Amino acid sequence: MRSTSAKFLLPLIVALLAIAVTGSQTRLFAREDMSVKVQTPPMGWNSWDSWGLTIDESHFRDTVTWFHNNLQRFGWQYVVIDEGWFAQHPENPTGHQDYTLSEDGRYMPAINRFPSAAGGKGFRTLSDWVHSLGLKFGIHIIRGIPREAVTNNLRIAGSHFGAAEAADTTDTCAWNSDNYGLRNNKAAQAYYDSVADLYAKWGVDYLKVDCISRPWKADEIHLMQHALADSGRSIVLSLSPGPTPIYAANDAVRSAQLWRISDDMWDLWSKPADAPEFPQSLKNQFAVLAKWQPYAGPGHWPDADMLPIGWLGPTPGWGQPRQSRLTRDEVRTMMTLWSIARSPLFIGTNLLKMDSFTESAITNPEILAVDQYSEDGHPVIQKEDTSVWMASAPEHSGDYVAIFNLSDAPQSVSYSWPDLGLQLGHFAVRDLWQREEMGRLDHIEATLPPHASKLYEIEYR
What CATH number does the domain containing 34 carry? Answer: 3.20.20.70
- Residues 94, 130: one domain? yes
Q: Which of 194, 193, 146, 141 is nearest to 167 (CA)?
A: 146
Residues 369 and 393 grouped into a single domain? no
Among candidates 199, 206, 256, which has minimal Cα distance to 231? 199
**pLDDT value at residue 35:** 43
Identity of residue 296: A
Asked if residue 385 and residue 368 are part of one domain, the reply reads no
User: 311 and 272, same structural domain?
Assistant: yes
Provide CB contacts within 8 A for 50, sequence distance 6+: 311, 312, 313, 314, 315, 316, 348, 349, 350
Q: Closest Cα to residue 370, out of 327, 400, 398?
A: 400
Q: Is residue 346 part of a domain?
A: yes
231 belongs to a structural domain: yes
Instruction: Based on the fold, state whether residues 254 and 230 are members of the same structural domain.
Output: yes
Is residue 389 domain-shared with residue 346, that is, in the same domain? no
Give the span between the Cα atoms of 239 and 211, in whole angstroms.
8
Same domain, 50 and 168: yes
Point out the domain boundary residue: 373, 394, 412. 373
205 lies in some domain: yes
**Does the residue 14 lie in any domain?**
no
Give yes or no: residues 312 and 431 share one domain. Answer: no
Name the residue among 339, 346, 359, 447 with its Cα closest to residue 402.
339
**16 is a domain residue:** no
User: What pLDDT is recorded for position 324?
Assistant: 98
Total domain count, the chain: 2
For the chain, residues with pLDDT lower than 50 are 1-32, 34-35
| Residue that is last in its domain, among 373, 403, 422 | 373
Q: Dihedral of CA 235/246/367/427: which sign?
A: negative
User: Which of helix, strand or coil describes residue 281?
Assistant: coil
pLDDT value at position 169? 98
Percent of the chain with pLDDT over 70: 91
Residue 305, phi-psi category: left (phi > 0), alpha (psi -120 to 50), beta (remainder): left
The pLDDT value given to residue 164: 98
**What is the pLDDT at residue 92?**
85
What confidence tens digit (pLDDT) does each residue in 385-442 have? Answer: 999 999 999 877 899 999 999 999 999 999 999 999 999 999 999 999 999 999 999 9
| Domain membership flag for residue 56 | yes
Domain range for 36: 25-373
Whether residue 231 is found in the same domain as residue 97? yes
411 and 338 within one domain: no
Residue 17: inside a domain: no
- The answer to whether position 67 is within a domain reads yes
Give the pLDDT of residue 97. 79
Does the CA dihedral 87-90-92-93 come out positive or negative? positive
pLDDT at 137: 98
**366 and 385 belong to one structural domain:** no
Query: Among residues 2, 47, 18, 32, which one has the least CA distance to residue 314?
Result: 47
Global model pTM greater than 0.75: yes
Same domain (yes/no): 138, 176: yes
Q: Looking at residue 403, which CATH number applies to its domain?
A: 2.60.40.1180
* End position of a domain, from candidates 349, 373, 397: 373
